[in-house]
Amino acid sequence: AQSVTQLGSHVSVSEGALVLLRCNYSSSVPPYLFWYVQYPNQGLQLLLKYTTGATLVKGINGFEAEFKKSETSFHLTKPSAHMSDAAEYFCAVSVLANTSGTYKYIFGTGTRLKVLA
């Protein structure tokens, strides 16, 4: 079954430092991959997605992710962390839901990012 694995349930970085959140996927076919962010007391919102084409994907708030097929990875990065980036980040893969022809999301366990002043 297709799935995603997020390494590190908690990551702390200093303000201005590089943010790196790791996600590896398992898929026998080219996957559709997503990163979602959940700010405190808010719903999940899409940061970025990879479907086909360019392997470096740019998202909102300065985040980007690179799809690396050879490493089965889709790590999320941001060059310089801001205090407002403190949130929980989820990697997800879109997979076929049974034989319906529609798709469902499978989410990773999440990484809580803490930004230190």
Partner 1 sequence: EAGVAQSPRYKIIEKRQSVAFWCNPISGHATLYWYQQILGQGPKLLIQFQNNGVVDDSQLPKDRFSAERLKGVDSTLKIQPAKLEDSAVYLCASRRRGQANEKLFFGSGTQLSVL
How is residue 68 written in tokens? 């690396």
Q: What angle do CA 62, 67, 68 make, to 5 degrees?
A: 135
Segment near partner 1 (CB under 8 A), from 35-43, 59-67, 68-76, 79-87? 35-43
Most distant CA pair in the chain, distance = 49
Among 16, 103, 114, 116, binds partner 1 (CB under 8 A): 103
Among 46, 62, 67, 82, binds partner 1 (CB under 8 A): 46
Contacts (Cβ under 8 Å, ≥6 apart) of 7: 22, 23, 24
Q: Which of 86, 73, 105 has its CA nearest to residue 14?
A: 86
User: Can residue 24 be called a binding residue for partner 1 (CB under 8 A)?
Assistant: no
User: Can residue 22 be called a binding residue for partner 1 (CB under 8 A)?
Assistant: no
Among 28, 70, 84, 102, binds partner 1 (CB under 8 A): 102
- Percentages (nearest 5) of helix, strand, coil residues in the chain: 10, 55, 35
Segment near partner 1 (CB under 8 A), from 19-27, 57-65, 69-77, 96-104? 96-104
Residues 65-84 interacting with partner 1 (rule: CB under 8 A): none
Residues in the chain: 117
* Residues forming the site for partner 1 (CB under 8 A): 6, 9, 32, 34, 36, 41-46, 49, 51, 90, 94, 97-98, 100-110
